[in-house]
Structure 1
C-alpha cells in the first residue's frame, strides 16, 4: 500500500534505492517498488541507537534530532532499534544491542534469494520492526505473510504499524523455532535472525519443494546465509552463501559470562606454546571463522584487550558452550611467532582449534560457498564440503 511522503522523505528513499543498487546491482522491479512504497522510517522507533565511539551505544531521538534520525533511517546500514532486550542496563555494564533493522541492501538481497511469487505463503522468523514483512506484503499480498516475533513489545509495535500500512499481515508473538502451524504449510520460510540450526518444526511446516532461508550462526561466528530446499520426504538440503552478520535468535544465545561462569580463581591451567596466531582463527578472516564454526560447533571465543597482565597486550579466550573447559592464548604485541597457551578442563580446546585450522588449510581454505548442509526431518544436521557425500565432521566430540 503506497503512502504519501514528503519531498524530504522522497529524496531519502531515492538515495536509499541508489545505495542498494550500488551494493547489489540492478534491483528486481518488484523489490524496488516495495522499498519505494513501504516507508522504512515508519517502522522504526522514535529512539534508535548508534555506536558512541567508546564501545557502547548512544540514543538518537527523532523528537530532538529529526534530521539526523531521518538520515539514519534511510542510510543503507543496519540500525539498532532496541538494547538490553528492552530493559535498563545494569550499573557499569554497557548496553548491548538486542534487536535491529538490517541493512536494506541485505534485506533486498535475501528477498531476491528467497524469490517468493505473488500468492505464495511466507513465514518470517523475527518480525523486528516489521519492515521486512511489509516489503513481503507489498509483493505477495498481506494475507500471504505470517511473521513470528519472540519479544512481545516488538511484536505489538510491528503489528500496529503493519495494520496501518499493509493491513492483513499476521503477526504472532512466540518462539520462531516452533513456526506457526496454524497457517502452515508455507511455500517459503525466512529468518531475519541468525539460527544455529533449522528445527524439525520448521521443516514440517514447509511444503515439498519449498525453501528455507536463514542467516547462519555458530557460537564461534555469526556469518553467512543457508538456503535449503525441502524434498518430498521432509528432508532439506542446500548451500551456504557468504553474506551478512545477523543477531542471534534469543533462544540460541550463549548466555555465559567469562569470569562469572567459566573461569574461576581456583583453576590451575596447563601451560604450553603455539605457533598458530589466535588472530588467524578469530580475526577478520570470515572464511576461516565460518569454517571453524562448523568444525567447532560448541566453542565460542572472546577477545580481551589489555588484560592487566605482565607482557600480555591481547588475549583470546576460547570456551565450551557449557562452560566446562576453556583456553587462553596470550599475545605480547611484539609480533612474535610463538604464543603462550593456558588450558583448563576435560578438553584441550586450543588443540581442537589447531586441528580445525589444519583441516581448513588442508582443504584449500574454503569459502562459505563451498559448504552445504543436509537437514533430516527429525532435525539432524550434517555439513558437507563441495558435495553432499563429503561430510564435514566436527573436530570435537560435540554434536
Structure 2
C-alpha cells in the first residue's frame, strides 16, 4: 500500500469515527479533508493510551511505517516531545511537553469556538501546527495568529505549515501574553490548560469574543471552558466537556514533595482521626474538579506500596498544612486520617466532596466560570 493509499484510507476511517461521535461537524468537513493529519506528525510519536493521560511506546515511521500510519489516523493524542526537548530519540521521558491532540478533542474545541468568515483568531500553543492549518484553511492565514513558547517545536510547525501552503502570523513567545500587534481578536483557542485565564487573552479581545480553553483548578480535574468576553472586561461561560491537556508553561507548578511538610518523621505533630469516605472516591476526574473549585491552594499526591495499598497526601501550596488518608484493599469501611497545620485539609476536601455528592455528582457541563475584571476566578454550579 502506498503512502497516498494509507493516507486516504486512514483519513476516511478517522472521519467516520469523528462524525459518529459528533465531534466533526459539517462546517469543518472541507478543512478536515484539505489538511491531513499526517502532514503535521513527526516521524517518532508516542500514542496515547485509553485513559488519555498515559503514553505507549515510541512508534517510528522509519522502523514501522504501518504502526505509524495506524497511530496517526487513530483517535488518540500523540506525544511529540518530552521534557521540553531535553529527552531525545525513542526514549520516553519524564514529562510530556508537546503533542498532537486527540482528533475528537481538536474538532470538539473547534466546534465550540464557532468561527465565522472574517473572524480574527488567536491560537495559544502551535504544537505540531495541525490545528493552525485547519483554522488557516477555514478562515484564511491572514486571520490567524498562533503562538508557541518552544522555539524548536515552533520551527518544525512553521515548516509544516509552509509546506502545506499556509502562512499565519506565527510567533515564538509566551502564550500567556497573547499577541498585541495583531489584536483585537474575535476568538481565542488554547491547546494547553490553564489554572487562571491570562488577562492578556481577555484584554486583546473584542467584547462578545469567545475564548475556548482547557481550565483546571490546583487540586486537579480539568474541562474545556467556553467564555464570552463581557463589556466590563470580565468573561463568563460554561464548561463544555472533560479534557486533559499539558499546562501552559508559564503556569506550571513546582510542587514540593511530602517530606518538605514534615519537621519530623510522619505522623509528626499530626492529629489522628477516621473517616468513612474512601480516598478512592476522590480520584474521579469530575470529583477532583469539583473539589478544586471549592478548596483553593490544595493539591494531592499519592504514595503507593507494593501490596496495593496507598497513602493519599494533601498539601497546601503555602507549605503550612498537610493531611494523609490511608487506603488498603479489603473492603474497609473506615480509613485513618492524619492532619497537621492551620488548615485541616482532609476536612476541607471531604466537605467539598460531600457537597458535590449531595448534588447528584454534577458533571463539568453543570459548572460556570466567571473571570471578573480584576482577574478573580469563580466557579459556580449552575
Same fold per superposition (TM over 0.5):
yes
1:376 alignment partner in structure 2? 372
CA distance in 2, matches of 1:130, 1:263: 45
**Offset, 1:35:** 1.5
Of residues 334, 346, 349, the one that matches 2:330 is 334
Decide whether aligned partners of structure 1 residues 69 and 257 sit closer, same or farther in structure 2, where only a CA change above 3 A counts.
farther
Deviation sequence 1:166-201 (CA, Å, 0-9, x none): 322111111111110110000000111111121221
Question: Which residue matches 1:358?
Answer: 354
Match status 1:37 vs 2:38: no
The 5 A counterparts of 1:97-116 are 97-116=96-115
How many angstroms apart in 2 are the aligned matches of 1:306 and 1:128? 37
Instruction: Write the distance in 2 (CA, Å) between the matches of 1:28 and 1:162.
Output: 23
User: What is the deviation of 1:338?
Assistant: 0.6
Contact 2:48–2:79 (8 Å) recurs in 1: no
Deviating more after overlay: 263-272 vs 95-104: 263-272
Pairwise CA distance, 1:305: 2.2
For normalisation by structure 1, the TM-score amounts to: 0.87
- Number of equivalences: 373
Match for residue 349 of structure 1?
345
Match of 2:274 in 1: 273
Q: Deviations over 1:306-360 (max 9, x none)?
A: 168xxx7122122123433222211121211111112233322111111212222
Distance 2:116 2:165 in 1: 18
1:126/1:263 CA distance change after superposition, 3 Å: farther
What pairs up with 1:1-399 in 2 under 5 angstroms?
6-24=4-22, 27-50=24-47, 58-88=57-87, 95-259=94-258, 261-262=260-261, 265-266=264-265, 268=268, 269-282=270-283, 285-306=284-305, 313-386=309-382
Partner SS for 2:216: strand
What is the alpha-carbon distance in structure 2 between the residues aligned to residue 170 and residue 253 of structure 1? 26
Q: How far did 1:362 drift? A: 3.4
The alpha carbon displacement at 1:50 in A equals 4.0
Which structure 1 residue ranges, 5 or more long, are not aligned? 387-399
- Structure 1 residues 374 and 355: CA distance shift in structure 2, 3 A: same
TM (norm. structure 2) is: 0.91
CA distance in 2, matches of 1:22, 1:30: 15
Q: In 2 relative to 1, CA 52–381 (structure 1 residues): closer, same or farther, beyond 3 Å?
A: closer
Please name the residue that 1:390 is paired with: none
Does the residue aligned with 1:194 lie in a helix, a strand or coil?
A: coil
1:243 is displaced (CA, Å) by 2.6
Structure 1 counterpart SS, 2:244: coil
Contact 2:299–2:317 (CA under 8 A) maintained in structure 1: yes
CA contact (8 A) 1:256 1:323 kept: no
Q: CA deviation at 1:286?
A: 2.8
**Does the C-alpha gap of structure 1 residues 166 and 220 become closer, same or farther in structure 2, counting only changes over 3 Å?**
farther
Unaligned runs of 5+ in 2: none
Cα pair distance change 1:107/1:220, threshold 3 Å: same
SS in structure 2 at match of 1:16: helix
Residues 270-328 of structure 1, C-alpha deviation per residue, up to 9 Å, x if partnerless? 3221111111112xx333222112112321112332168xxx71221221234332222
Report deviation, 1:33: 1.6
1:264 CA displacement? 6.2
Tell me the SS of whatever aligns to 2:311: strand
Given the superposition, is the C-alpha separation of residues 297 and 279 from structure 1 closer, same or farther in structure 2, using an over 3 Å criterion?
Answer: same
